[in-house]
Amino acid sequence: MSILSKTILSPTSGFIAEAGFTHSLTPARNCTFGCTYCYVPTMGIYGGLKPEDWRHWGQFTTFKTNAPELLRRQLRANQVIYCSPLVDPYQPAEESQKLMPNILHELMAHPPRICVIQTRGPLIVRDLEPLLELSRRTTLRVSFSLTTNREAVRKLYEPHCATLDCRLKAIHILRQAGITTFATLAPLLPCDPEELAGIALDETDNDIIGDALHVRSIKPRGATTREAAFRISQKHGFAEWLDAEFQAEVVERIGRVVRHAGRRFATGPEGFRWLAQ
């Protein structure tokens, strides 16, 4: 589906603003990766989402087909842009929609100060050429989500996402081409923390960013992990991964491995700030 949107860049608030981003760029409403833990549909109506989006999360998407024209008018040289806190720009439906190449073209023509693309979609390598061109004109960073080192866990929580191997291959291609690429361990699904940290260290040469699954005990208000992921965790014996103390221990274990390798590891806005600086 497609719509003509009124706006494409939104001034940031909350987590992303705290990290230092001035604007978010969201090319679609709803995300066909449909991850079971996705916090976006728990926000209610936000960022142009409609009730049918968050009630049927992942089942369809609606592209903002006039995004390039809107960008032409709204882009400014001092913006620090995060694409996107509400959808994956390289979600499966983008393969046929092909909106991102046109968006990248506008970013090239009117480069913001910093542009970060957050994705878990290997489809991003399709756009290697425009990404490279954009990286010559501004600071471009790709933040690639790695959530677990265990394929069986990945299939449970994010069945429509690419395998770990496919994601690592995409990171490798981006990095070989010279695109600054971060591994973002977010959200941290059940995994072997040391092994996941080792993979992130091997595949990238930047500091490592992470974030635990959002839980109400440490995040009393706002968006949180959605019900489907809680059910999966209970059913498969992973309930402790939603316990704040257990999560803190996992974060500490990853941090220890990363620091031992001479790099930094941080979660939340502290980690995401490394993308926005």
Residues lying near ligand SF4 in the complex (CB under 6 A) are found at: 31, 33-35, 38, 40, 58, 87-88, 120
Which residue type sits at 76? R
150 vs 21, 40, 123, 142, 147, CA distance in Å? 32, 24, 21, 23, 9
Hey, what are 129's tokens? Answer: 């050429």
Strands 180-188 and 208-212: parallel
Judged by CB, which is closer to ligand SF4: 88, or 127? 88
Judged by CB, which is closer to ligand SF4: 99, or 257? 99
CB of 85 to ligand SF4, least distance (A): 8
Cβ atoms of residues 148 and 164 within 8 Å: yes
CB of 229 to ligand SF4, least distance (A): 10
Judged by CB, which is closer to ligand SF4: 38, or 251? 38
Judged by CB, which is closer to ligand SF4: 5, or 147? 147
Cβ atoms of residues 121 and 162 within 8 Å: yes
Judged by CB, which is closer to ligand SF4: 91, or 181? 91
Judged by CB, which is closer to ligand SF4: 23, or 120? 120
CB of 104 to ligand SF4, least distance (A): 19
CB of 58 to ligand SF4, least distance (A): 6
End-to-end CA distance of the chain, in Å? 35
Strands 62-64 and 28-29: antiparallel
CB of 227 to ligand SF4, least distance (A): 14
Q: Which among 85, 149, 75 has a CA at the least distance from the CA of 107? A: 75
CB of 133 to ligand SF4, least distance (A): 25
Q: Which among 33, 213, 217 has a CA at the least distance from the CA of 118? A: 33
* CA 10 from centre of chain: 17
Cβ atoms of residues 182 and 120 within 8 Å: no
